[in-house]
Chain A
Amino acid sequence: MDGERIRDPPSERAGLLERRVMEKGETTYRIVSKNVSEYHFIVPYDLSEEERAEVGQIFSVRDGSLTYLARVLNIEHSSNYDGHWDTTIKGTNFFDSDQIFNLVIAEPLGCVNEAGEFRKSRTLPTKFSAVKRAERDQFRFLSQVMGDIEVGYLRNGTRLVEEIPVVLHSEAMDHHMGVFATTGMGKSNFMKVFAASCMRLAVRGESKFGLLIVDPHGEYLKGKAAIKGLVHLQRYRDGLACYSTDRQNAADPGVEELAIAESEIFPEDIALLYEWSPPQRDALDAISRIFDPGSWLEEIKTGEGMGRMMQEGFKDSTVSVLVRRIKNELERNKYVKKRSSLANILANLKRGKVVLVDIPRMADRSELFLLSVISRYILDEYKREEDESRKNCLITIEEAQRVLGAGSNTARFESIAREGRKFGVGLCAITQQPKLIDKQLLSQFNTLVVMGLGDRNDRNQLEESAKQDLSSMDIEIQTLEKGEAVISTLNIPFPVPARIHRYEDYLRRLEKEPSDKSIPKGGFKPFLE
């Protein structure tokens, strides 16, 4: 269209008629706008159920040597007609179905170059670039950034991409992990799958951390009815050490009856169980100064011990409350004995095993008490020695809002969250109410497994604390189905949609895994000799 050409006689042009033909089908699946942080593309409005675009689905945009990936945030009705013109149905129907479409709003994830390297994108695909549902080839790069703890398969919308397993990094576990879901969305299943993968790594000698699970519901050990437990993973059973407060469970070979020695209980363990008045708190703090740390529990219960407290200026009533509560706890927690399982537990964790502490039917307060004692013991031990062969440790806390909530008097868990990483101790917080967890603590969690949260406040809390931007995934998180998750973790460049393996299926798969010569012979002994 230059000035010279328009004066030329038409016959001297390349062709008198330069026909350009738009054929049917060219107006679909194209990027139409919008900017570097948000792509808009169109898809036919009348696709079959299988072909429909879904929130969370990842599409790919091929543009030259780059393949852009974008995740669907929302889908809107739209058309090429202005205003509300396309809402005026008269006569029979619209003839031009190609002019009516769904507008897909997608968040760019990044782009993959021809060498299969992924990077964040600072530009946008050419307008009208063709868009298609991302398939395994476009996700291949993800395999390179996955870790060693398999938990599920990549999910694209509701479709599985079975060729791409979602695999967490062991290295990220001392940066803490959070598992968030409302009841029935699959938290326990996730933890069992996670534990099974850890057991596998332990047996193969590839484990990089020990996993401690304290199970107050008695569901991890043997499962319930048709639901399998961790002991059912026979092939990697050697990667599991079990301790139980239940006599029947403890009678099984390979399960030790849990015992905590009185000498291993500190006043701080009692402190977190009750609300204390300031004088009572002072009295608690004074215990370690007044008594021998190894025998305080014995001594304080005696008349002489109470007298020593009163000599320190504490009132009779204050000391009485203190002693009564201590006696109650000792009465309630029958596992407090002369002997202890803690050294065994620690040793197994250091060897990278999965340690399951089975405490069925235990009261909430007792569970907290036990968890506090074990966690404190582990942290102290990990702080003490710098053995290079020692594996890191991940401590699981069910209903974590009880101990990580804003204003809770559980400084122990807070200190693990804040400084545990320095010593190789991470927390795995499981909760259905992340909104109750302290925001600053939550921001220390670098791996988030989000499995469907209906409460807006829960989602907001996570979005504000997550290392990766989850705010755009609000609709997706809201619409996650049972077993589906969005996983945000270090080393994987964007929050990954996943379908967590059903534990029973995963167990069957692991049992059938071809034997590996690298698995050490002789198995695992649950108890220290």
Chain B
Amino acid sequence: MGEERRLSMVAEIIRDHIHLEGIDQYLKSTGIKESDFVPIKPADFSGEIFAVDGSNAALCGWMTARVNLIRAGYAVYRGREWQSTAITFDDLFLADPLLCQSNFDPYLEHYFGLKGIDLQESDLDRLSSYYREMQEYLAINDALDHASPGDIILYDGSFEVFEPLRAVLSVIFHRASNREVALLAVSKSSSLSWGQEITLPFVQHTALAGSQLCPGQAWCISLKDKNLAAGQGGWGGQSYVVRFCGQTILAFRVDAPAYLSRDMEGISAILGNLADHSCSAECMGYPHALFRAHRDIRITEQEATGARERLWARLLEMGIAMGQIRMLMLDYHDILEMKSRF
């Protein structure tokens, strides 16, 4: 591993994976044409933009369950002016596969009319992620209650979700459509890929191609019928790659439900509204409301530590000694690594 030759070889492989030398091969392989890059015209937008995000932090855990602090909510902007940030959930979640039903079903039944889901999941981290996702959908649902026709709701992530939760999304899409609210998901990271021999990053290479084909402009490209390795699909909408601001080279995957993606003209208009909202000094090229939602909703390390300390204090009050707590929650990796996970 330490050999220079070996390192050079690996560096070459990395270069081949990330570097785009000319866009011809990219265009040919993906089936994307120059004309697929549709310029977006930034437009003044008088409506409100809601940005939904969530955050979770592991506080403690043992072999069979885990306690996470989970928070979800949304930030609201009118144009460039922040209006408010609503925290819709801020609580502890006990990830125990046997408690799934009691954790998820009441929410799903009450808000989405669903009779619960069968998660069949024993991975504790994934269980926490699902719970956080569900809380984010509840935040979208809450945002829909407060949005007016013509407003935009942005979700931090993708709609390409785990199948059991697709039913939830379906209800949300339906509500958004009925309320005439534009609902889009913006992914900061995407695993979309292209290439036959090796897996190449699609969004990044599309951003580079767009910079050459539409320099200095915001643009979007529909991924419909393009030749790339996508997710499972079937979530009920259309994906795009969008550059929101002509002054940056960054592009993002944007998912739009079917009711928004019927024609390019309609989605371009919505993205134009977002383009005017994506030129802040704080996060140029990214919809600003998502930046704010991330900052307002994130659980900081200090917060997690504080919550953990309070939890320990309660356990001690109940007569459980610190030594017992440590022993029962011990993962022997902690000993080997000489540090605690929590």
Q: Report Cα–Cα, A172/B307, bound state, in Å.
A: 55
Per the bound structure, the CA–CA distance linking A234 and B281 in Å amounts to 66
List of A residues within 8 angstroms of B307 by Cβ: 1
User: B279 near A: Cβ within 8 Å?
Assistant: yes
The winner among B80, B82, B90, B103 for most chain A CB atoms within 10 A is B82
Query: Is there an interface contact between A91 and B281, defined as CB atoms closer than 8 Å?
Result: yes
Q: How many A-B residue pairs have CB under 8 A?
A: 100
Within 8 A of A (CB), among B197-223: none
- CB neighbours of A93 from chain B (8 A): 280-281
A95 and B94 in contact, given A7-B102, A22-B85 (Cβ under 8 angstroms): no
A89 cross-chain contacts in B, Cβ below 8 A: 281
Cα A18 to Cα B88 with chains together (Å) = 6
User: When the two chains form the complex, which single residue of B86, B295, B310 contacts A19, counting CB atoms closer than 8 Å?
Assistant: B86
Question: Cβ of B311: which chain A residues have Cβ within 8 Å of it?
Answer: 1, 3
A16 touching B110, Cβ below 8 Å? yes
Cα of A96 to Cα of B294 in the assembled complex, Å: 13
Contact B281 A90 (CB under 8 A): yes
* A11 pairs with B106, CB closer than 8 A: yes
Task: Known A20-B90, A21-B85; judge A92-B281 contact (CB<8 A).
Answer: yes
CB-based contact B86/A21 at 8 Å: yes
**Using Cβ atoms and an 8 Å threshold, which residues of chain A touch B107?**
10, 16
In the bound assembly, the distance between CA atoms of A99 and B296 in angstroms comes to 11
Which of the listed residues A3, A9, A89, A90 has the most CB atoms from chain B within 10 Å of its own CB?
A: A90
Q: Determine whether B142 belongs to the interface, using a CB cutoff of 8 Å to chain A.
A: yes
Is there contact, CB below 8 Å, between B84 and A95?
A: no
Asked if A122 is at the interface of the complex by the 8 Å CB criterion, the answer is no
Size of the B side of the interface (Cβ < 8 Å), in residues, is: 43
CA distance A2 to B317 in the complex (A): 12
With A1-B91, A17-B88 known as contacts, the answer to whether A96 contacts B102 (CB < 8 A) is no
Q: Which partner residue on chain A sits nearest B277 by CB separation? A: A95
Given A7-B102, A10-B106, decide whether A91 and B284 contact each other with a Cβ distance below 8 A: yes
CA distance A469 to B142 in the complex (A): 55
B99 within 8 A of A: yes
**Residues of the B chain whose Cβ atoms lie less than 8 Å from the Cβ of A92:** 279-281
User: In the complex the two chains form, what is the Cα distance from A23 to B85 in whole Å?
Assistant: 7
Question: With a CB–CB cut-off of 8 A, which chain B residues contact A10?
Answer: 103, 106-107, 110
Instruction: Scan residues 275-325 of chain B and give those whose CB is less than 8 A from a CB of chain A.
Output: 279-282, 284, 288, 292, 295-296, 307, 310-311, 314-315
Give the CA-CA distance A93 to B107 in the complex, in Å.
Answer: 41
Residue A515 CB within 8 A of the other chain: no
Contacting residues, chain B, for A95 (C-beta < 8 A): 77, 80-82, 280-282, 288, 292
Whole-angstrom CA separation of A10 from B80 in the bound complex: 36
Tell me if B111 counts as interface (CB < 8 A to partner A): yes
Q: Are B85 and A11 in contact (CB under 8 A)?
A: no
A7 touches B99 (CB 8 A): yes
Given contacts A16-B110, A20-B73, A22-B86, list 13 more A-B pairs with CB under 8 A: A1-B311, A5-B92, A6-B92, A7-B99, A10-B103, A18-B90, A22-B87, A81-B282, A90-B281, A90-B284, A91-B280, A94-B282, A95-B281
Interface residues of A (CB under 8 A from B): 1-3, 5-7, 9-11, 16-24, 80-81, 88-96, 98-99
Tell me the B residues contacting A by CB distance below 8 Å: 67, 73, 77, 80-94, 99, 102-103, 106-107, 110-111, 138, 142, 245, 247, 279-282, 284, 288, 292, 295-296, 307, 310-311, 314-315
CB pairs A–B below 8 angstroms (22 shown)? A5-B91, A6-B93, A6-B94, A7-B102, A10-B103, A17-B88, A17-B89, A17-B138, A19-B86, A19-B87, A19-B88, A21-B84, A23-B83, A24-B84, A90-B247, A91-B284, A94-B282, A95-B281, A95-B288, A96-B82, A96-B280, A98-B82
